[in-house]
Chain A
Amino acid sequence: MTDAQLLQLRDVTVRFGGLVAVDSVSFSVNSGEICALIGPNGAGKTTLFNAVSGNVVADSGSILFRGEEIRQLTPHEISARGARRTFQNGGLFRDLTALENVLVGLHAQVASGFIGLLFGNRSAAAEAAATRRARELLELMGVGAMADQKAGALSGGQQRMVEIVRALATNPPLLLLDEPAVGLAPQARQQLAAIIRTLARERGIGILLIEHAIELVMSVADRVIVLNDGRKVADAPPEQVRADRAVLEAYLGHA
């Protein structure tokens, strides 16, 4: 196991009652690498994703993040360790402004402790610093102008961007994107692809994403992992997967 192996799944299995949703899946994601998780509906992608982020507890196997076992950790513990996720829909705090959403994203890094907040001015100073940083981040991603609008009132593309900014706020080494392109127009999709590429290449962030938009996946992913009926069917660069028989069967079989 090398240092660059950010996320490593070994024989991860998730059962719901009698149903095996994820069946002994193994793969890994390295720093600076973009891995796409694809497969027909019901293949187990979302369940696997949730197992990594802690929203679902895998029944067996091992999920290592930077060498540490996270299979049985809670979502907030996993997030605190640097694996941050977005949600397919309903991930934002709708009644909070875009700025406040990012501030929540920065939560762990706002330097105000409980006792300190009762006395002294550290709390106010910490808040001001966090606010400045949050605005910068929103600005960088092109949504600075809507910082003070309620997140629920933003357009779909803007909401998506805010959610990504929020997830990135703490400079996490691993980013988990749950269908980031869904509902986006083609131009917005291209923007998204460019951002994902930048995050991986220039910031060295490891990215695992679920996607149904095949063109996006092909243009962005370093490796594509294909699931079918809970099992891993392929794990290779996009061009190889495109021609893979088993993959074709998986999709055709479910058509």
Chain B
Amino acid sequence: MSRVTRRLFWLIPLVLVPVPLLLNPYQQYVVNTALLYVPVGIGFNLVVGNLGLLAFSNVAYFGLGAYTSGVLMAHLGLPWWLTVIPAGMVGGVAGSIASIPALRGVRLFYLAIMTLAFGELMRWTYIRWEVLTGGSMGMAVPTASLFGWSLDTDRRRFYAFLAIVVLIVATTDRLLRSRFGRAFLAIKDNEIAAAAMGIPTDRYIVLAFAWGGAVVGLGGAMFAISVGHLSPISFDLTELIRQFAIIMVGGLGSLTGGIIGAVIITAAPQVFTSFPGFDELVFGLLIVLVILFLPRGLASLLARAHPAFVDRYYRD
């Protein structure tokens, strides 16, 4: 992709800046949600799509990031901006922990089962550690502030989120386009050959898991102040299917796909009124259809439209 077209992508955040002026509070909330799900999709895609490992623990990082932020704010009185980095770090550490079975050679369905169990174990922790998290009833998240500027409206939160998400997208893009990103693809393609070429596969697996976890954790921190109230039910397997839908619909292994997926999966439920169970039904069907008819996601359609839209690390 040429330098010029890459620079054009920086226009997108600029174009987004005046958008809040056109939105009512509810619409703004939806946009915020789409925005904070972008890093969630990106982090998930990095491990599952680029590195190619079946790690089903993404919701764990999301929840841990959210609760870290919420707990630090509620119990230690920290302002939100000071909890963001800890949330990311907790996500990163959780990702590193989840990579342990992968380092020991566990792959495929076994890895999926273990990481799924890990995610559920975390959810059980939110429920049981009532003193900290408020248990099943959940906890209220105090109003956020950014260096003293109160983030009490969705519009203000939008700008805070936008800054964070742009940073995440830019750095992750650089990572994927570097030799590290290429090493991830090599490991995904042929792990033994990758090692034979001098790539320290263990280290890179941990890197991918940690980065993915950290980025999703940051999404969690944004989630915490966007919804204002955390409860364990937000981080159950239904949430996992939503996150799967994001990367499947968007396109595995594509950063752009992660962004598109986040926007579509957040926007879609707004189009129809949501009864309990409707989300699951629709996301389930959507994933079935995507796997059958558009297995490489919407990113593959984009790629066919114009090569400029293709991330270099995305494989059709």
Contact = CB atoms under 8 A, between A and B. Distances in A.
Contacts of A85: 196
B7 to A, nearest CB: 13
B195 interface: yes
A104 interface: yes
Interface stretch (B26-34, B39-47, B77-85, B174-182): B174-182
Interface in A52-97: 53, 55, 74-76, 79-80, 84-85, 87, 90-96
Contacts of B315: 95-96
A114 B171 CA distance: 11
A112 interface: yes
A246 to B, nearest CB: 33
B195 A75 contact: yes
A104 B178 contact: no
A232 interface: no
A104 B204 CA distance: 14
Contact of A96 (B179, B189, B192): B189
Contacts of B194: 93, 104
A79 B179 contact: no
Given A95-B315, A123-B178, A127-B179, A75 B196 contact: yes
* Residue of B174, B180, B197, B201 with most partner-chain A CB within 10 A: B197
A118 B171 contact: yes
A100 interface: yes
A95 B50 CA distance: 12
B186 A118 contact: no
Interface of A: 53, 55, 74-76, 79-80, 84-85, 87, 90-96, 100, 103-105, 107-108, 110, 112, 114, 117-118, 123, 126-127, 130, 166, 170
Interface of B: 171, 174-175, 177-180, 182-183, 185-186, 189-190, 192-201, 315
25 contacts: A53-B196, A76-B201, A79-B195, A79-B197, A79-B198, A84-B198, A85-B196, A91-B193, A93-B186, A93-B189, A93-B193, A94-B189, A95-B189, A95-B315, A96-B185, A100-B185, A104-B183, A104-B197, A107-B197, A117-B174, A118-B174, A118-B175, A123-B178, A127-B179, A170-B198
